[in-house]
């Protein structure tokens, strides 16, 4: 079935970027209360551009109806290996061959045990067994009680399942339907969507360790007041997500923002510029790429008051003295790893005017190979941006788009430069 035949598929000119455009996913539901999340997951996959074929076990039908999943997917739901709609009576073959991936969400402990032993007594398990392993990947989202999840047999099964080529997407921690709290919850639909998108993303940064800074810093004046800026951190968080999608091991050093941590990213929360410098210098030694997206305060009050500074009615304003903060990007760019060519540094410049001139000057002043400029007042707090990439060869404009799309473009630019570095080094040596 083409996208045009499926009324649930969003037109490319509407809504968010279609990250899964052209992908056909079989969404399998095994028995578990987490089936209620599968309805939202189905919607999320379709909104991302995928077509979705739902296959349900008999146990899954105890928790959610095929009618619901058919309405959401825009396709008839398959529940039996004896489905008469298939002319050759081979739904397990036909459905698996048409798919780009099989995603089982939820995957119960019982269904996982079936997969491990090659049992195929229903359509979904039969299809997982009959799929061409080298062409149709199997992704699974476990969902079970915390004691079932922690049981040695279950943990052994996870190891073997991954050894057999499946991708286990992990579990969440929290309150469970049984009233207990712990590991074993199925991940939320948005988390699973991130994982599926990342799975299909080319791993151009595989093996790289990327360090990203994001958000503002906060410099205290007294216990209740401080100096900060309007940076939301959205661009840096998008870059961290895009780098992880591209296969990198990502550490995100975040100033005071309220954004959720991207899937698979290690996060270090900081407050002041001094906090951020300490976190960055501690992590940069293991990094191969440093992307300084954070809007770091240039100055801090020299002697913050330990008590709230109060008005006394005299009209006199408090006298504040300032100390210049260390330049985090310049410090890292002058580190031994950067100077030896083992750390690729990317700077950001949020300007209010003369973007090209200021970005070029900042790149030279910071001594970094790539500087990314934008007009701060035009992007702070927004979900979109426009970027200017500046290097020794000149400048390249990335037109206004969502920050996530721009982050992915930037990551590919960085990956291309990283891939070219060995060749450039060999060329220089040969000459």
Give the pLDDT band of residue 422 (cuts 50, 70, 90): low
Q: pLDDT per residue over 243-287, tens digit each?
A: 999 999 999 999 999 999 999 999 999 999 999 999 999 999 999
CB-CB contact of 34 with 172 (8 Å)? no
Domain ranges of the chain: 3-200, 209-299+317-430
How high is the pLDDT of residue 313? 84
Over range 51-55, report the average pLDDT. Answer: 97
How high is the pLDDT of residue 26? 97
- 362 is annotated as contributing to ligand binding: yes
Q: pLDDT per residue over 10-31, tens digit each?
A: 333 334 468 999 999 999 999 9
Residues with active-site annotation: 178
How high is the pLDDT of residue 19? 93
Kindly report the pTM of this predicted structure. Answer: 0.87
Share of the chain above pLDDT 90, in %: 74
Compute the mean pLDDT over every residue in the chain, rounded to the nearest whole number. Answer: 90
How high is the pLDDT of residue 91? 78
More reliable by pLDDT, 298 or 5? 298
How high is the pLDDT of residue 327? 94
- 290 is annotated as contributing to ligand binding: no
Over range 60-86, report the average pLDDT. Answer: 92
> Class assignment of domain 3-200?
alpha beta
Residues 6+ apart with CB under 8 A from 298: 324, 325
Asked whether this chain's domains 3-200 and 209-299+317-430 adopt the same fold, the reply is yes
Structure tokens at 298: 């240039």
- 298 is annotated as contributing to ligand binding: yes
Q: Is the pLDDT of residue 86 over 80?
A: no
d(CA 112, CA 110): 5
- 366 is annotated as contributing to ligand binding: yes
Q: Is the pLDDT of residue 53 over 60?
A: yes
Top mean-pLDDT range of 36-45, 318-327, 356-365:
36-45
Q: Where does 209-299+317-430 sit in CATH, by number?
A: 3.40.50.10300
């Amino acid at each position: 079935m083409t996208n045009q035949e499926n009324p649930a598929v969003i037109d490319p000119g509407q809504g968010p970027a279609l990250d899964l455009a052209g992908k056909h996913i079989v969404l399998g539901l095994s028995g578990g209360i987490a089936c209620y999340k599968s309805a939202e997951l189905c919607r999320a996959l379709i909104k991302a551009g995928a077509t979705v074929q739902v296959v349900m076990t008999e146990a899954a039908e105890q928790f959610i109806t095929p009618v619901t999943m058919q309405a959401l997917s825009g396709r008839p739901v398959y529940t039996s290996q004896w489905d008469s709609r298939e002319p050759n009576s081979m739904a397990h073959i036909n459905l698996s061959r048409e798919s780009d991936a099989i995603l089982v969400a939820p995957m119960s402990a019982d269904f996982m045990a079936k997969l491990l032993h090659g049992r195929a007594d229903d359509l979904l398990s039969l299809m997982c067994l009959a799929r061409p392993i080298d062409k149709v990947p199997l992704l699974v989202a476990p969902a079970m009680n915390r004691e079932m999840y922690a049981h040695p047999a279950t943990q052994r099964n996870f190891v073997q399942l991954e050894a057999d080529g499946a991708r286990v997407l992990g579990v969440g921690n929290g309150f469970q339907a049984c009233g207990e709290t712990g590991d074993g919850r199925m991940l939320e639909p948005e988390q699973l969507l991130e994982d599926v998108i990342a799975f299909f993303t080319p791993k151009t940064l595989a093996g790289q360790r990327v360090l990203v800074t994001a958000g503002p810093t906060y410099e205290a004046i007294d216990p209740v007041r401080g100096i900060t800026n309007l940076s939301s951190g959205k661009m840096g968080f998008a870059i961290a997500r895009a780098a992880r999608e591209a296969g990198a091991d990502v550490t995100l050093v975040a100033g005071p923002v309220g954004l959720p941590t991207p899937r698979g990213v290690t996060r270090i929360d900081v407050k002041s510029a001094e906090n951020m410098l300490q976190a960055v210098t501690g992590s940069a030694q293991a990094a191969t790429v440093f992307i300084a997206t954070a809007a770091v305060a240039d100055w801090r009050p020299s002697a913050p008051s330990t008590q709230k500074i109060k008005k006394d009615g005299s009209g006199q304003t408090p006298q504040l003295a300032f100390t210049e903060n260390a330049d985090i990007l310049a410090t890292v760019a002058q580190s031994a790893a950067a100077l030896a060519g083992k750390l690729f540094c990317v700077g950001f410049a949020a300007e209010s005017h003369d973007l090209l001139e200021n970005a070029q000057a900042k790149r030279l002043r910071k001594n970094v190979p790539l500087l990314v400029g934008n007009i701060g007042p035009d992007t702070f707090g927004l979900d979109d941006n426009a970027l200017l990439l500046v290097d020794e060869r000149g400048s390249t404009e990335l037109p206004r788009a969502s920050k996530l799309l721009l982050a992915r473009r930037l990551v590919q630019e960085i990956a291309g430069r990283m891939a070219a570095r060995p060749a450039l080094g060999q060329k220089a040596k040969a000459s």
